[in-house]
Amino acid sequence: MIHVIRTFFAIGNALCFIVNTLVNLLLPRQKPNYPAIQDALLLKSVGELVVELRQKKVTSHKLVQAYIKRIQEVNASLNAVVEDRFEQALKEAQHADGLIAKASNEQLVALFARYPLLGIPFTVKESAGLKGLSFVVGNIYRKDLKCDNDSEMVERLRSAGCIPLLVSANPEFCMSYETNTKMNGKCRNPYDPNRVSGGSSGGEGALNGAGATPFGLGSDIGGSIRLPAMFCGVFGHKATGGLLSIKGNFPFVDDPIFSQYLTTGPITRFAKDLPILLQVMAGEDIEKLKFHEPVPLKDIKIYYASSFSGCAALMHQPTDFDIKLAITRAVKCFQKGGLKTEEFNLDKFAHAREIGLRALSDLHGIPSVTNQGKPKISKLIGELVLSLFGLSVHNRDAVFMEWMRTERIYFSNEEAEGFRVEGEALKKELVKMLGENGVLFLPTFPTSAFAFNTATLNLVGVDLMLLFNILGLPATHVTMGLDHRGLPIGFQVVAAPYQDKLCLQIAAELEGAFGGWVPPLPHEIKS
């Protein structure tokens, strides 16, 4: 049976290559059609903003106002906002300012120890659960549904003093690499409105890329943080499996293994903010990451890979030249700094897609897009055909994935067991190879942002992201500038479980060496 799905993959892969090539030939780059950043306050990292708030050089109210203005000026073009709470946010900012203003120098220490991110605004993916705001997640059966409680992660960020501004766009049930739903329309890429912002944290990707949020809360089960980060030119961290709570995050799934695969996590323009955010988000579990025992940079060993070869190359998209170049430049940079490096054979991950699919199709209790306990195959195929012509109320990818997941027509039980064993062996090998000082550089996705309505074909690029959700390894997407079309590129940095600090350290080094986020338009700062 595996031959059926392999043939299917090979055909999908070839079609995807043809379509992406045609799109790149025929779809000219369109410049962003929103204004450049004019307010220098929007260019400061969370770390810098906390210092300025503490030193009373800026107020939270002014900061929230600046971001509201920016969100309004970019959202008209990007369509990244599902629902805002700007008025409440301004009130909460005034409250934070009150606490800061009346504190003596001594009291300020206690205040910022209690609320490490006091007065910092942020944005939340709709599915991540923000009380009182939309919780529709692109699905018609959830129309007008509001979230009745903050998720645990939102609650943690709020308890640290953060102020949520809005919930941002995501695909139907978060099941697509393109954020484009019947309920909300297209969420566009901040570098080119003809391209997707990625998915499923597409709204967060777009807002971060356009400099319209200090940081975003996203979630990732098959690249949903890393892909929008890549397409929108910013950083995103998928933490070690099970580290960050998904309580209150849609979908609610009872299967305990689900909380190992799906993770919440930060998306940000500034790599140096990632450790600050992770400290708040991990709560008491931060101890497991041993931030207090840093590994000296020179002791970190780098493994790297950029493309498949041989038969495996037929089943995967070729990695874009510019992405391969970015990996090579990063490796060279660390070699110059005296770090040990070694090439890794990507063909070891030839079955990543099968390993991932096997794991997902074994999950129990995933809610149905079509709102039926176990949808009939005829219903799914009917919706799939309708969706090809834009006539279904559902998103094509959401129906397609539900079909793949529920039918499992492509593996026999023996084959499925084989992929489970292969996944476990791969994890063991990676854990041993990476140890407490190793990181692996590899593509996040083979291409820069693709065109709208091509996400189903581009699902063939899922494997190198999904693999690390299934194996539970941490992975940070590092942005590495723009390709020859002016679209962001980068790659992921993976480490052994609970070695997230290595990913974050390397991301910050690369940000220092290569500049990190490149604004979509040159700033026009007014002093």
72 vs 437, which CB is nearer to ligand NAG?
A: 72
Residue numbers 209-228 binding ligand NAG by CB under 6 A: none
Mapping DSSP to helix (H, G, I), strand (E, B) and coil, where does residue 122 land?
strand
- Smallest separation (angstroms) from ligand NAG to the CB of 75: 4
CA distance 435 to 254: 32
Could you tell me the two tokens for 37? 């950043």
Mapping DSSP to helix (H, G, I), strand (E, B) and coil, where does residue 235 land?
strand
Q: Which amino acid is at 130?
A: L
- Smallest separation (angstroms) from ligand NAG to the CB of 150: 6
Contact present, 324 and 307 (Cβ < 8 Å): yes
The residue from 59, 75, 240, 492 that contacts ligand NAG (CB under 6 A) is 75
CA distance 95 to 59: 11
194 vs 406, which CB is nearer to ligand NAG?
A: 194
The residue from 13, 20, 65, 79 that contacts ligand NAG (CB under 6 A) is 79
76 vs 425, which CB is nearer to ligand NAG?
A: 76
DSSP 23-58: HHHHS------SPPP--GGGG--HHHHHHHHHTTSS
Which of 359, 409, 375 has its CA nearest to residue 222? 359
Examine residue 204 and tell whether it contacts ligand NAG (CB under 6 A). Answer: no
Contact range with ligand NAG by CB under 6 A, out of 70-78, 95-103, 423-431, 492-500 = 70-78
82 vs 451, which CB is nearer to ligand NAG?
A: 82
- Smallest separation (angstroms) from ligand NAG to the CB of 5: 39
Distances (CA, A) of 293 to 104, 284, 440: 33, 16, 20
Sign of CA dihedral 449, 452, 456, 457: negative
Could you tell me the two tokens for 117? 């991110």
Judge if the upstream peptide bond of residue 200 is cis by omega within 30 degrees of 0. yes
- Smallest separation (angstroms) from ligand NAG to the CB of 266: 19
Contact present, 191 and 487 (Cβ < 8 Å): yes
Which of 237, 297, 299 has its CA nearest to residue 270? 237
77 vs 279, which CB is nearer to ligand NAG?
A: 77
Examine residue 152 and tell whether it contacts ligand NAG (CB under 6 A). Answer: yes
Examine residue 149 and tell whether it contacts ligand NAG (CB under 6 A). Answer: yes
- Smallest separation (angstroms) from ligand NAG to the CB of 155: 5
Catalytic residue among 168, 201, 224, 392: 224
Burial class (CB in 10 A: 0-12, 13-18, 19+), 365: exposed
N-terminal to C-terminal alpha carbon distance within the chain: 65
Beta bridge partners of 268: 235
Is 200 marked active-site? yes
Examine residue 463 and tell whether it contacts ligand NAG (CB under 6 A). Answer: no
- Smallest separation (angstroms) from ligand NAG to the CB of 134: 11
- Count of residues binding ligand NAG (CB under 6 A)? 10
Q: Which amino acid is at 451?
A: A
78 vs 346, which CB is nearer to ligand NAG?
A: 78
Contact range with ligand NAG by CB under 6 A, out of 76-84, 287-295, 404-412, 424-432 = 76-84
CA distance 93 to 164: 10
Contact range with ligand NAG by CB under 6 A, out of 48-56, 119-127, 144-152, 221-229 = 144-152
Could you tell me the two tokens for 239? 């933490």
152 vs 511, which CB is nearer to ligand NAG?
A: 152
Examine residue 155 and tell whether it contacts ligand NAG (CB under 6 A). Answer: yes
DSSP code for 239: P
Examine residue 388 and tell whether it contacts ligand NAG (CB under 6 A). Answer: no
Q: Which amino acid is at 335?
A: Q
Examine residue 124 and tell whether it contacts ligand NAG (CB under 6 A). Answer: no
The residue from 53, 81, 323, 366 that contacts ligand NAG (CB under 6 A) is 81
CA distance 77 to 138: 19
Is 306 marked active-site? no
76 vs 377, which CB is nearer to ligand NAG?
A: 76
Contact present, 265 and 227 (Cβ < 8 Å): no
Which of 492, 466, 472, 384 has its CA nearest to residue 424? 472
- Smallest separation (angstroms) from ligand NAG to the CB of 71: 7
Catalytic residue among 197, 200, 245, 448: 200
76 vs 314, which CB is nearer to ligand NAG?
A: 76
Is 146 marked active-site? no
Examine residue 76 and tell whether it contacts ligand NAG (CB under 6 A). Answer: yes
CA distance 142 to 362: 25
**Rg value, the chain, Cα:** 22
Contact range with ligand NAG by CB under 6 A, out of 71-79, 235-243, 325-333, 501-509 = 71-79
81 vs 276, which CB is nearer to ligand NAG?
A: 81
Examine residue 72 and tell whether it contacts ligand NAG (CB under 6 A). Answer: yes
Could you tell me the two tokens for 240? 């070690």
CA distance 224 to 509: 24
Catalytic residue among 125, 324, 427, 501: 125
Contact present, 246 and 219 (Cβ < 8 Å): yes
Examine residue 354 and tell whether it contacts ligand NAG (CB under 6 A). Answer: no
Contact range with ligand NAG by CB under 6 A, out of 14-22, 68-76, 250-258, 281-289 = 68-76
Examine residue 280 and tell whether it contacts ligand NAG (CB under 6 A). Answer: no
Q: Which residues bind ligand NAG (CB under 6 A)?
A: 72, 75-76, 79, 81, 84, 149-150, 152, 155
Residues belonging to the active site:
125, 200, 224
